[in-house]
Structure 1
Amino acid sequence: MTSDSHADTPNADLASLRKAEFGFPGSLRDRLVAAILDGSKTSTTGLVADYEHEGDPLPEVGSRSVVVDSDDRPVAVIETTSLRVVPLAEVDLAHVFDEGEGDADVAEWRANHEKFWHSPEMRAAMDDPAFTVDDTTPTVLERFRLVTDLRSAD
């Protein structure tokens, strides 16, 4: 259900949308954005602690966000279709597969996500050099749909 036109989200409206940044700028973000644009990534996982640290509300079903690339350029508009907050230990295989990151099972997904969440970049972003997650860490499981591919707007 991708719109090839910009009628759903005129450029003037982009500034009013929440910015969706997947990972940190660089190869990971480039890979995640490509997966959103090709339709293989339809879910993502965040941490309640990250939203709280940034002072951002959780996304709401029906809310739209503008996805930015590593150069902070708007490349897509996505719409949240469902949202669940669950402990890290309860992330399910369907969510893992819908993240479109190639993980074969929940254990592989968790190892890859913990590597990200325990990275120096994430710990710096959280202002906590010892930041860590465990089975009880509240996660934000967001499903979304691609509404508009903005790349052809240039």
Structure 2
Amino acid sequence: MWPRIGELRTLALGTPGDLRTRLNTLVLGGVKTATAGLLTEYAEEGEELERVGERLALVDDEDSLVGVVEVTGVEVVGFAEVTWDFARSEGEGDRSIEEWREGHAAYWARVGTPVTGDSEIVCIRFRLVSAGDGGIPTGDLGT
């Protein structure tokens, strides 16, 4: 199972270090409003897919809260079927769907899970609900 903060599942983007810091910065800046994951990771971790309206705790390398996002869409598609509209909403600077596919295929290969055109990808769209310096210093995680 993935870690929890309170009742919220965590959203740990990319791999720890510079990549996670960059992706979190894009979310907190309102640029990144989507992320993609491998369906096989959910089965391996015994997790259900996110659902529209669910709130997730965005975390840093130490699993500390840096923000809360609300899921606005979830779709499972083949890697070759991911749309440019979705890829662009990831906000990572890709200039084409081909560039997005090359970058994501290389990333998943580096972390030990090569993908093919048929690999099932979980496409999650979200909106930033709450954030602050070092996360949310006070208040309700559900806000």
The TM-score normalised by the length of structure 1 is: 0.82
User: RCO (CA 8 Å, sep 6+): is it higher in 1 or 2?
Assistant: 1
Aligned to 2:89: 98
Larger Rg: 1
- Whose helix fraction is larger, Structure 1's or Structure 2's? 1
1:118 match: secondary structure: helix
CA RMSD of aligned residues (A): 1.5
Whole-angstrom distance in 1 between the partners of 2:97 and 2:41:
21
- Whose strand fraction is larger, Structure 1's or Structure 2's? 2
The AA in structure 2 aligned to 1:88 is: F
Which runs of 4 or more aligned residues in structure 1 lie more than 2 Å from their structure 2 counterparts after TM superposition? 150-154
Contact 2:57 2:67 survives alignment (8 Å) = yes
Contact 1:77 1:150 survives alignment (8 Å) = no
Aligned to 1:147: 129
Q: Choose which of 117, 120, 125 in structure 2 pairs with 1:138.
A: 120
Whole-angstrom distance in 2 between the partners of 1:95 and 1:111:
15
Structure 2 unmatched runs, 5+: 138-143
Whole-angstrom distance in 2 between the partners of 1:14 and 1:52:
21
Shift of residue 115, structure 1, vs aligned partner: 1.3
1:78 match: secondary structure: strand
Q: Choose which of 17, 32, 40 in structure 2 pairs with 1:26.
A: 17
Question: Does residue 48 of structure 1 match 2:30?
Answer: no
Report the identity percentage: 39
The AA in structure 1 aligned to 2:101 is: R
Aligned to 1:85: 76
Whole-angstrom distance in 2 between the partners of 1:14 and 1:71:
12
Whole-angstrom distance in 1 between the partners of 2:99 and 2:19:
16
Structure 1 unmatched runs, 5+: 1-12, 124-130
Shift of residue 153, structure 1, vs aligned partner: 3.7
Aligned to 1:3: none
Contact 1:74 1:150 survives alignment (8 Å) = no
- Per mean C-alpha deviation after superposition, the further-off stretch among 70-79 and 135-144 is 70-79
